[in-house]
Amino acid sequence: MTFPLLWLIVCAASYLLGSVPFGYLLGRLLHRKDIRSGGSGNIGATNALRQFGAGTGVLVLLFDLLKGFCVAWLCLRVIPACFPALFDSPIDPFVALLPALMVILGHMYSIFLGGKGGKGVATAAGVFIYAAPVPLFATLIFFVLIVALTRYVSLASVTGVLFLCLAQFFWNWYHSGAPSIPWFTMVVAALIIYKHQENILRLLEKRENKLDFSGKGKS
């Protein structure tokens, strides 16, 4: 098997994994409700928290994080170890992370939901937990502060991915790393911001709903 064929298979499998709508499935299984029918209509953890409470919200968050983490772990560590002959030559980190990009796209544009899906924040965070833990940890602190101060999860998500780009750039510069990871981060950030365009419009018009920490608020 050649590397391009292997990576094509891995990318396809990653997209399918990303497409699994855990928010939708857990809503149906635990609450007999379509998560898309209420709140923001999004299948992510924030809408699950608002509609079903903290327990389901945390479960959705964990499953969406795991999608990204597992793919990053597989494509950066497990698969190269299993197919060492295909990785004799150095692989550009951006190419190595293409499956991780596909798992994020799968979450955003799920084949199981007619091409619709979530915003991709949790799944992307799962990728960076393995691929860039230090910049992500700094971003997590920033994210929590923005949510605590404003109660706007969408604002924290949009500004958070921009912060992650800066954190990744400086981390990469400090360690003299390849520029591919910052470029990958910027691509992911652009996708997440694009998926938040309606939220951005509502924020500008002061119509965006704030997070109710009791888990009973509306989206």
pLDDT per residue of the chain (219 residues) written in tens, 0 to 9:
788 899 999 999 999 999 999 999 999 999 999 999 988 889 999 999 989 999 999 999 999 999 999 999 999 999 999 988 888 777 888 899 999 999 999 999 999 999 999 999 999 999 999 999 999 999 999 999 999 999 999 999 999 999 999 999 999 999 887 788 999 999 999 999 999 999 999 999 999 988 876 544 443
Q: What's the pLDDT at 91?
A: 82
Q: Does 29 map to a domain?
A: yes
Residues 36 and 25: beta-carbon distance below 8 Å: no
- What is the domain extent for residue 75? 3-204
Q: What's the pLDDT at 176?
A: 82
How far apart (Å, rounded) are the C-alpha atoms in residues 185 and 25? 29
Residue 216 is classified by DSSP as: -
Q: Does 215 map to a domain?
A: no
| Element of type H or E holding 63 | helix 54-73
Q: What's the pLDDT at 39?
A: 82
Residue 14 dihedral angles phi and psi, to the nearest 5°: -65, -40
Q: Does 213 map to a domain?
A: no
Q: With 0.85 as the threshold, say if the pTM is over it.
A: yes
Q: What's the pLDDT at 214?
A: 56
Q: Does 217 map to a domain?
A: no
Q: Does 214 map to a domain?
A: no
- Which long-range CB contacts under 8 A does 214-217 form with residues at least 24 apart? 215/49, 215/50, 215/53, 215/54, 215/57, 216/50, 216/53, 217/50
- Number of structural domains, the chain? 1
